[in-house]
Amino acid sequence: MRWRQLITRDLVRHKRQWLGVCIAVASSVGVTAFMGALTAGVYRYAIKPMVPRLPLEYLRVEPRTLSIGGITFDAGRLSGGYGLDESTLGEIQELKGVAKVFPVVGAKVPLRAEGGEGFLGRRLRTDIFATGVPPELIEDDIADGQEFKDNPEGPVPVVIARRLLELYNTTVAPVVEKPRLSERMATGFMFVIQIGRSYATASHRTGKVRKVQARIVGFSDRASMVGLTIPEATMRRWNREYGSASPVSAAWVQLEDPAYAGAVTKRIEQWGLRLDETPKLMAAGIAIAGLLLVLCWVLLLMLSAWAIAQVYFLMLAERRTEFAVIRALGARKWDLCRWLLIESVVVGTVGTLIGLVVGLGAAIGLSEWLRSFVAVLSFKPVSLVDVPLVLLGLTLFLGIGASVCGALVPAVLTSRIEPGSALRN
Amino acid sequence: MSFGEEVVRFHRVTKTIKAEEGERTLFEDIELSILSGEWVAIVGASGAGKTTLLSMIGALDNRFEGELEVLDHSLLTLNDNELAMLRSQHIGFIFQDFHLLTHLSVLENVAFPLWISRAKADQTELVRAQNVLSDVGLASRWNSKVTHLSGGEQQRVAIARALVGDPRLIIADEPTGNLDEVSSECVLDLFEALRTPDDSGQAARTVVVATHDPRVAQRADRIIKLEEQKLVMVEAVS
Ligand SMILES: Nc1ncnc2c1ncn2[C@@H]1O[C@H](COP(=O)(O)OP(=O)(O)O)[C@@H](O)[C@H]1O
Ligand SMILES: [Mg+2]
């Protein structure tokens, strides 16, 4: 034998007590699965779409600006440090570990965009920002069959920040009851750009206003978050056309290896320039949240192990004589211990499965209920529940682990029962 | 092994226990020898230490001073696992409260010691259990729940369980303490019979019974009395 049969018999015989253990396991697993699925869901459907996914080998450098009464100064230059201009870009290029520096050129002309009747149902007019970047910076993100280069004759190629599309899909589309757009669907979309005119600044002083066709040719994580990204040459041409120079508003620094990020960042900051730290902060925030969650789980594991241990103590105390008899009949301590631990694995597994079903069910229920409320708000994620494999694995581990941990001390203490006490009652 | 060989030997054994009022000596410097095939009754007032003595003979308790050999093993030299092994292979126990496992059937209770012994599991365990069960006259009840049996029947199941591993030494503590007169007689008759093993050519079994019932003691070969921390040989009955 037949330990298997003995264990089955024992579980059936003491089903009330084992049910207690099972409920203790199921509760803690239920709470964990519930919390975990909601956390993962909120992260996946609400937080993650907001976080830029920047490849680690790219750094974004901006001039340190100082704003007093609406006038913005280049603070780096004011304090005797570097501003962000062609010569600074050259020096950054010389730093060890830097593969290439890409300038981001700002617009000195007012711009407006018109269009969208195709899928919005009405024509939309809005002032927009635009920046120009060298094609090599985003060439990987240009859709097949599209081109991203200056062409005075054809439509202006435009690249949009991938996050903007995600924001549209998660927050705008549900509200205006439009289907979500994939990158493929949105690529090729045509609209009109009016150069030299905006609602905010009225017409440009040279007075020349003209319209050009524009076409979306791709989505990129290195595209501007606040407007359109067009080829650098096009931007410079427009600025020249309106009698302006082309200021470098920011730069992308491509590293030979992400490992250089620390050193390069340090040098650039010493020059009084600013690095966009949003991704870094976001990553740190998410890491801390994750750490807190893991801490919560460890705490929960310990708490449930403790609760389970109490149930075991009660159950085993009731059965001391029985265990003493089994010891007297020749079972070793280890036989008894192993027997109880195997039973705790079996019960832990059953409890875990029950807890998973209940916890995940509750999470889905709550998610749907909450979503029925937020429908009126501008933000409506597809779901608030996500069950990644790692959550399933962790929960199984937690449930069975808590059951075994909780059983461990009681099992060891029980196995130490004096076999001689079988003779006394 | 043949009749007359020494199965249990106490030499200057002292047992002290921790009581509320401090240390208490249950017996001091006792000498005792039990031979194979003997049926020995241990009598004495309640609290005299009969159960304690039995648990030492039964290799359940090896915390004492002196020398105690059981079935050629010096108990003080054995660790917990070895004591368990000795019990599992050579010693059968019968308790006042029967102590059957209520979640197992009659037959399974009888087979239980075979299951927990580390001997190779084989299909004959249940057959062996069934044979022993017929020896105690309960063959037809093999599939009953133990809680459906009378006290006398439960004790017979317990006897079968004690015999199933073919032990050389049987320890019984107040085996008739919870039984009426008729059942007691039946159990004592079984004791008489079980001293002769079923397989011929094997040694007789040794039976050590603790009791405060004079009628039980009278059936034994020899009565030993625990009195004032000493063993007193009362009489050889037959
Ligand atoms: N493990 C123990 N701890 C404390 N006291 C014990 C222990 N075992 C036995 N005793 C005490 O030792 C005395 C003898 O017990 P026992 O051997 O059961 O006597 P008997 O079986 O003759 O009635 C009793 O007073 C009992 O309370
Ligand atoms: Mg007693």
The per-residue pLDDT for A119 is: 65
Q: What is chain B's mean pLDDT, rounded?
A: 89
> What's the pTM value of the predicted model, to 2 decimals?
0.67
Test mutation, A329, A340, A425, chain B, max B CBs within 10 A:
A329
Which of B54, B88, B112 lies nearest to residue A423, judging by beta carbons?
Answer: B54
Q: What is the DSSP letter of B201?
A: T
Distance separating alpha carbons of residues A50 and A173, to the nearest angstrom: 15
The pLDDT tens digits of the residues spanning A259-302 come to 787 788 888 888 878 777 666 666 677 778 778 877 887 787 78
The helix or strand, by DSSP H or E, that contains position A35, with its residue range, turns out to be helix A15-42
On the question of pLDDT at A102 being above 90, the answer is yes
DSSP bridge pairs for B51? none
Q: Which residue of B has its CA nearest to A339?
A: B116
Assign A339 to helix, strand or coil. Answer: helix
CA dist list (Å): A239 to A78, A231, A387, B89? 25, 13, 51, 100
> Average pLDDT for residues A349-375, to the nearest whole number?
87
Q: Do A208 and A131 touch, CB atoms closer than 8 A?
A: no
Rounded to whole angstroms, the Cα distance separating A121 from A117 reads 5
Give chain B's radius of gyration (CA, Å).
18
* Residue A242 in tokens: 């309106």
Query: Does residue B22 register a pLDDT over 50?
Result: yes
Taking the centre of ligand 2 as the mean of its atom positions, its distance from the CA of residue B51, in whole angstroms, is 4
Which helix (DSSP H) or strand (DSSP E) does residue A54 occupy? none
Residues with CB under 5 A from ligand 2 (ion): B 51
Reply yes or no on whether the pLDDT at B238 is more than 80. Answer: no
The residue whose C-alpha atom lies closest to atom 9 belonging to ligand 1 is B52
Please name the residues in contact with A191: beta carbons below 8 A apart, sequence gap of 6 or more.
Answer: A113, A114, A115, A116, A213, A214
Cα–Cα distance, A367 to A41 (Å, whole number):
9
Q: Atom 18, ligand 1: which residue's CA is nearest?
A: B51
- pLDDT, residue A402, reads 87
Query: Could you tell me the distance, in angstroms and rounded to a whole number, from the CA of residue B53 to the centre of ligand 2?
Result: 9
Nearest to A221 by CA among A48, A52, A45: A52
φ/ψ of A179, rounded to 5, equals: -65, 155
In single-letter form, the type of residue at position B228 comes to E
Max mean pLDDT among A50-59, A111-120, A139-148 falls in A139-148
- Angle at the Cα of A82 from the Cα atoms of A77 and A85, rounded to 5 degrees: 100
| Cα–Cα distance measured from residue B43 to residue B33, given in angstroms and rounded to the nearest whole number | 16
- Percentage of the residues of chain A whose pLDDT score is greater than 90: 23
CB neighbour list of residue A43: distance below 8 Å, 6 or more residues apart: A286, A386
Q: What are phi and psi of B102, to 5 degrees?
A: -70, -15
Q: How far is B32 from A168, CA to CA, in rounded Å?
A: 95
Pocket of ligand 1 (CB under 6 A): B 17-19, 26, 44, 46-52
Give B145 or A78, the one with higher predicted confidence.
B145
Query: How is residue B145 annotated by DSSP?
Result: B
